[in-house]
Structure 1
Amino acid sequence: MFRWMREKYFWIIFFILLISLILIRSSSEERYDITWAENLLREIYTPLFSGVSGVKEKISQISVFFEERKQLEETIARLEAENDKLKLENQALREYKMEALRLKNILGFQNDNLEVYNLLPAKVIARKPNNWYQVIIIDKGEKNGVTKDMPVITPEGLVGVVTSTSSYSSYVNLLTDRSVAVGVLIQNTRETTGIVEGTGESNILRMTNIPYYSAIKKNDVIVTSGLSQIYPKGIKVGTVKEVYREAGGILLSADVKPAVDFDKLEEVLIITDFKQVVENVAEENE
């Protein structure tokens, strides 16, 4: 077996050398025609060279594909990052726009009521998780002229009352807090009807001590009566939703929807002085 393989390799080498000698001899002479050996070699080598060239071209195409894919992925990543940045910027712009509208509303209300109230704008900076509809903390305090029992409002209506202060912040008990009670009247009829109290919920107040003969009805607007030294007269409290006759039939009670959305409190106004209003109320009663 080994002998046969040696003979095989011998003849292969022999033919290669023979062909090479023929080519060398042929190429050393000036001629214009190719020999049969050269033609044979061309027939053998041409497909090989063509295949190698094709493989090289395919490799080049694959290389270009991966390079373009990498560039595309980098472009997509860059565009996604820019898109995320633009989203954040748009969100910030929307927040600024909404804040500007709220502040414009508050400033307009403040300017419209300069002769009635002395108003101090404040921002809500905190709420107690366990007393979400009872207490808020605002960014104005004693150094800003804020004292206990000052009423707090928005352009929509009554928010609550300052219950304690520090140098640069204050606690405000909301109208929805059960400890807050406000004397009220019906806006249209001017009938003094009772007291509005908090229920601990954001969307409902309870109105009590309404005389059985009162003309109060659903959708009546309720405002502060001014019969106290804390709340000035005429601040909107809410709208009557339902009227009930209490046990015994002597008094009525009612559910009132607050004028203020206590879930969306961000800026408020503190009434620092309304002495003139109290005096006007006193003159009206005389």
Structure 2
Amino acid sequence: MPQFFMNKRLIILLVSIIVLVALIGFSLRERSKLTWPEQFVKDTTGWVQSLVAKPTNYVAGFFENLQDLTNTYEENKALKSRIENLASLEAEVQELKKDNKELRDVLDETKTLRDYDPLSATVIGRNPDRWHEMIIIDKGTLNGVKKNMAVVTANGLIGKVKSVTQFSSTVQLLSSNDPKNRISAIVQGKTDVYGLVEGYDDKKKLLQVKAIPSGAEIKKGQTVITSGLGDVFPKGLMIGKVVEVKQDQYGLNQTALVKPGADFYDIKTVIVTKRIMKQADETDTTTEEEE
């Protein structure tokens, strides 16, 4: 009798293993439809997951929205402060413009070094071998473009007209390492400091403003603009921001490394600045290449 029960248990065990293996194989094979037990288990699991996930997501979303509201409040507070300052600056600028106009009317002087006529142009050519040196634009002598005119983008100065044909012009970029490519500039501050944009640091991607007197106080973040004293470029064109200042090898002058406002790599449209104020005769200028 005990032997019979032992055999019976063994048979049941073997049958259970066979059924289990069959079920596993049945489950693993590719099927277009699930069996009703599988569907029931899957639907039940999905319903339970949805039941748990919804309140969990709601709670998590509540705290996330609360954090967003806090951040928005702080940003709104900062923006309000900036808007108030901006309104104050705009009012001050308007007053200065009014005073400036009145003074110019009194002096009967209507033109300044800042005045220029903008001429928009599109970049139509760029040599991959000289990518950081030259671009070609679709405006030429027929549009009033002349050699040495300043060329800018919405973010700042990019270079000057190097040569002109009737229908196109070649623009030399500030990132070109041509030693003759010099531009008269001003480092703005409590006292304006003059220097020359001369050279480009390829590794740091920074312009070099040289010939700054050693006693001049230059700080990081100061704005560099064109001076307008080279008799070709208008005054006030954005060049960039000072990021570093160093003494030259003799200690007589300083060199400011300036991050350009414009992107020299990706240039699609530009503006050629046609200066309004009459230029001096070439015989009156001592440095033909300095703008």
**Per the shorter chain, which TM-score range?**
0.5 to 0.7
1:118 aligned onto 2:117: yes
Aligned to 1:230: 232
Offset at residue 136 of structure 1 (A): 0.4
Q: Is the 8 A contact 2:162 2:170 kept in 1?
A: yes
Aligned to 1:185: 186
CA distance in 1, matches of 2:135, 2:214: 36
Aligned to 2:244: 242
Aligned equivalent of 1:256, options 245, 255, 258: 258
Q: Is the 8 A contact 2:232 2:279 kept in 1?
A: no
Distance 1:197 1:176, change over 3 A: same
Offset at residue 130 of structure 1 (A): 1.6
Deviation readout 1:3-54 (Å, 9 max, x if unpaired): xxxxxxxxxxxxxxxxxxxxxxxxxxxxxxxxxxxxxxxxxxxxxxxxxxxx
Secondary structure in structure 2 of the residue aligned to 1:199: strand
Secondary structure in structure 1 of the residue aligned to 2:147: coil
Deviation readout 1:139-192 (Å, 9 max, x if unpaired): 111122212111111221111111111121100001111232111112233423
Aligned equivalent of 1:267, options 260, 266, 269: 269
1:197 aligned onto 2:179: no
Residue identity in the other structure for 2:115:
V
Which residues of structure 1 form unaligned runs of 5+? 1-114, 279-286
CA distance in 1, matches of 2:275, 2:250: 42
Q: Is the 8 A contact 1:212 1:249 kept in 2?
A: yes
Aligned to 1:138: 137
Task: Give the TM-score taking structure 1 as reference length.
Answer: 0.54
Q: Is the 8 A contact 1:233 1:277 kept in 2?
A: no
Q: Is the 8 A contact 1:232 1:277 kept in 2?
A: no
CA distance in 2, matches of 1:143, 1:262: 26
Task: Give the TM-score taking structure 2 as reference length.
Answer: 0.53
Q: Is the 8 A contact 1:134 1:200 kept in 2?
A: no
Residue identity in the other structure for 1:184:
A
What aligned pairs does 1:4-43 form with structure 2 within 5 A after superposition?
none
After the TM superposition, which of the residue ranges 268-277 and 221-230 deviates more from structure 2? 268-277
Aligned equivalent of 1:209, options 199, 208, 211: 211
Offset at residue 276 of structure 1 (A): 7.0
Q: Is the 8 A contact 1:193 1:214 kept in 2?
A: no
Aligned to 2:164: 165
Q: Is the 8 A contact 2:232 2:275 kept in 1?
A: no
Q: Is the 8 A contact 1:176 1:197 kept in 2?
A: no
CA distance in 1, matches of 2:228, 2:275: 14
Higher helix proportion (structure 1 or 2): 1
Instruction: Kindly report structure 1 stretches of 4+ aligned residues shifted beyond 4 Å.
Output: none
Aligned to 1:156: 155
Residue identity in the other structure for 2:216:
S
Secondary structure in structure 2 of the residue aligned to 1:149: coil
Q: Which has the bigger relative contact order, CA under 8 A and spacing at least 6?
A: 2
Q: Is the 8 A contact 1:162 1:172 kept in 2?
A: yes
Residue identity in the other structure for 1:223:
I
Offset at residue 120 of structure 1 (A): 0.7
CA distance in 2, matches of 1:228, 1:190: 20
**Which of these two proteins has the greater Rg computed from alpha carbons?**
1
CA distance in 2, matches of 1:145, 1:221: 30
Residue identity in the other structure for 2:236:
G
After the TM superposition, which of the residue ranges 246-255 and 166-175 deviates more from structure 2? 246-255
Deviation readout 1:95-144 (Å, 9 max, x if unpaired): xxxxxxxxxxxxxxxxxxxx932111000111111211110000111122
1:176 aligned onto 2:186: no
Secondary structure in structure 2 of the residue aligned to 1:130: helix
Secondary structure in structure 2 of the residue aligned to 1:143: helix
Compute the RMSD of aligned alpha carbons. Answer: 2.1
Residue identity in the other structure for 2:257:
D
Residue identity in the other structure for 2:165:
S
